[in-house]
Amino acid sequence: MISFFVGGVYLLGFASLPIAINRSRTPQGATAWCIGLISFPMIALPLFWIFGRSKFYGYVEAHRQAASEISNDLVQYRRTVTSFSADAVPGLESLFGIVASVMKSPFIKGNKVELLIDGEATYRSMLESISGATKYILIQFYIFRDDEIGNKFVDALMAQVKRGVAIYFLYDNIGSSKLSKRFVKRLSQNGVNIFAFKTSKHKSRIQINFRNHRKLLVVDGNTAHIGGLNIGDDYLGTYKKIGAWRDTHVKISGVAVLEAQLNFIKDWYWEAEKVPALDWTPFVVDGTANVAVVNTGPADDTSFAAIIHLDAFNSAKKRIWIANPYFIPDEPVERALQLAVLRGVDVRCLVPSRNDNKVIHMASKIYMDRLVRVGAKFYNYAGRKRVFMHSKTFLVDDLLSSVGTTNLDNRSLHINFEAQALIVDKDFASQMEVMFLRDFAASVPVATNFFRRRSYWYRLTAKALNLSSPML
C-alpha cells in the first residue's frame, strides 16, 4: 500500500513537469521545480501546486471593469498626464519610453519630493498628511499591526472620519494575517471602508503564492507616500529580536500623485468591486522632479519590475548604488550589474548584516561572491550591531533614483504586487547620495575573498540554498 502511494506521488511529479515548464517565467524557475518534482516529489509536489503559479488571474479583467466605471475620470486623467508629461532626459530615453509604453503613464514633470529616512520621520510625515486631509485618504499596506503606532494611525483615521473625510483602507490578507476581526470591525463600524486584498478570491484557482506587497498613502490626490515601511512598532526599532530598523520612504506632492491614485483603484476594485469617488483635478506645485509611480505584478504580461531594473542599470555611466535586504537577483539583473562593473561603473550594494529570512540571507552569498569577484563592492549594514536594513532603493549616476517596495529577488521581480517611485531630479539624487554615503560609513565592507574564507560546510549550505532562489 505504501509503495503504491509512493509510486503514485512520483507519477504525479512526472506528470506535473510540463505544467512547471509552461508556467515558470524563467528557465531557472522551471529547472528548480523540475529537479524538485523528480528528486523529492513528496515535498515538491504539494509546494508546486500551492506556490508554483506565476500568473495571477482575474486582475486584468477587474481593472478593465474599474476603468469602465470611471471612464469620464480616466479621460480627464489622460488629458492631465499628457499635458504634464516630461520630455525624455538624455541618457534615460529608453527608460522614459518603457514607462510610457508599458506602464501606460509617462514620467510627470514639476513634482516635489521629500526623502524620508527611517520610521520616526516617515510616520510623522504620514500622520501630518492624514491630519491635513479634507476629502479622502487612500491607505494600503502589506503589513499593518495592531500595536502602538498602528493604533496612532487608526486614531488619526477615525478622527478624520468624524470630520467627513472618506477613508479607503486596503491591507494584504497574508501579510496582515495577524489583524484580528475585532480590529477590522472597529474600523468598519467607525466609518472606515476597509478590505483585505485576497489573492485567492477566485476559488477556481489556487493563488495563495502571491502577495500585495505595496505600501501607499494618498491624501486628497495631492500627496503620496511610497517606500519600504509597513505600519508597526518593529519599524521604530522596538522589537528586541530584530533591533533597530533602517528603512526609506518618499513623499511626493504634485500631479504624479494621480498615478498613485489610479494604481490604488486597481487594487481596491479587485476586492470592493466598486470605485470610490475621487478628485482627478491636477495638483500643480512648483517642483523640479520628474516622477513615475510604477506598479508591477504577476498580472503583467511580462516581468516589468525586472525590465525597469535592467534598463536603469544598463543606462549607468558613473555609478549604481543599491540598498536591498533580499539580494538574490535573477540572471539578467545579475549580468547587468556585472557588465556595469566591467565598463567602469561604480557598483555598490548595501545589504543587511542581519536578516529576518535566514534562507535568503545565505542564498544571497552566492550572488555577492560572484559580483565582488568582478569588482562590485558590498557593505554589510551596521556590522555586528543589532540592526535590520530594509530599504529598497537605488541611485543611478547623478539623476535617477528609485524608492519603493521591490526587493531584488524572484518574488518581488516576478510574483509580488509591487510599487516604486522612479525620480529623475538632481537635487533629490544629491540627497540620496548623502544618505548612501552615511549608510556606507556605518557599514562593514565585504572582502573580495569573504566567501572562500568560510568553512566548507558554510559554502555548501549557501550553494544548496541558492538552488532554491528561483522559488524564493
Q: Which three cell numbers stand for residue 32?
A: 528548480
| 267 and 397 co-located in one domain | no
361 is catalytic: no
| 348 and 408 co-located in one domain | yes
For residue 203, the model assigns a pLDDT of 47
Catalytic residue among 112, 213, 361, 414: 213
Domain membership of residue 295 (yes or no) is no
Average of per-residue pLDDT across 126-152: 97
Q: What percent of the chain has pLDDT over 90?
A: 56
Distance CA 32, CA 100 (A): 34
| 410 and 278 co-located in one domain | no
| 386 and 350 co-located in one domain | yes
Domain membership of residue 299 (yes or no) is no
Average of per-residue pLDDT across 167-195: 92
Pick the last residue of a domain from 288, 312, 335: 288
Question: How far is it between the farthest Cα atoms of the chain?
Answer: 75
The alpha carbon dihedral of 138, 142, 145, 150 has a sign of negative
| 197 and 332 co-located in one domain | no
Split at pLDDT 50, 70, 90, the class of 453 is confident
Split at pLDDT 50, 70, 90, the class of 415 is confident
Per residue in 339-394, pLDDT (tens digit) is: 999 999 999 999 998 777 777 777 888 888 999 999 999 999 986 778 889 999 99
Average of per-residue pLDDT across 325-343: 93
For residue 191, the model assigns a pLDDT of 93
| 196 and 313 co-located in one domain | no
Q: What percent of the chain has pLDDT over 70?
A: 82
Distance CA 262, CA 259 (A): 5
Average of per-residue pLDDT across 264-286: 90
For residue 170, the domain's CATH number is 3.30.870.10
For residue 21, the model assigns a pLDDT of 65
241 is catalytic: no
Per residue in 5-32, pLDDT (tens digit) is: 656 656 776 666 676 666 666 666 677 6
291 phi, psi to nearest 5 deg:
-130, 135
| 281 and 321 co-located in one domain | no
Mean pLDDT across the chain, nearest whole number? 86
Domain membership of residue 78 (yes or no) is yes
Range of the domain at 200: 59-96+107-288
Higher-confidence position of 44 and 161: 161
Domain membership of residue 398 (yes or no) is yes
| 167 and 311 co-located in one domain | no
Split at pLDDT 50, 70, 90, the class of 204 is very low
For residue 459, the model assigns a pLDDT of 74
Catalytic residue among 112, 309, 361, 392: 392
Res 438 pLDDT > 70: yes
| 271 and 344 co-located in one domain | no
Please give the full DSSP string across 290-345, using - where no structure is assigned.
EEEEEEE-TTSSS-HHHHHHHHHHHT-SSEEEEE-SS----HHHHHHHHHHHHTT-
213 is catalytic: yes
392 is catalytic: yes
Split at pLDDT 50, 70, 90, the class of 310 is very high
The distance from CA 240 to its chain's CA centroid, rounded to whole angstroms, is: 25
Distance CA 391, CA 414 (A): 19
Catalytic residue among 215, 225, 251, 266: 215
Domain membership of residue 183 (yes or no) is yes
Domain membership of residue 229 (yes or no) is yes
Res 461 pLDDT > 80: no
Pick the last residue of a domain from 288, 323, 345: 288
| 252 and 280 co-located in one domain | yes
| 150 and 185 co-located in one domain | yes
Catalytic residue among 172, 234, 267, 397: 397
Domain membership of residue 101 (yes or no) is no
Domain membership of residue 388 (yes or no) is yes
215 is catalytic: yes
Pick the last residue of a domain from 288, 317, 332: 288
463 is catalytic: no
Average of per-residue pLDDT across 441-454: 87
Split at pLDDT 50, 70, 90, the class of 137 is very high
**How many independent structural domains does the chain possess?**
3
Catalytic residue among 390, 414, 425, 439: 390
| 229 and 186 co-located in one domain | yes
Res 52 pLDDT > 70: no
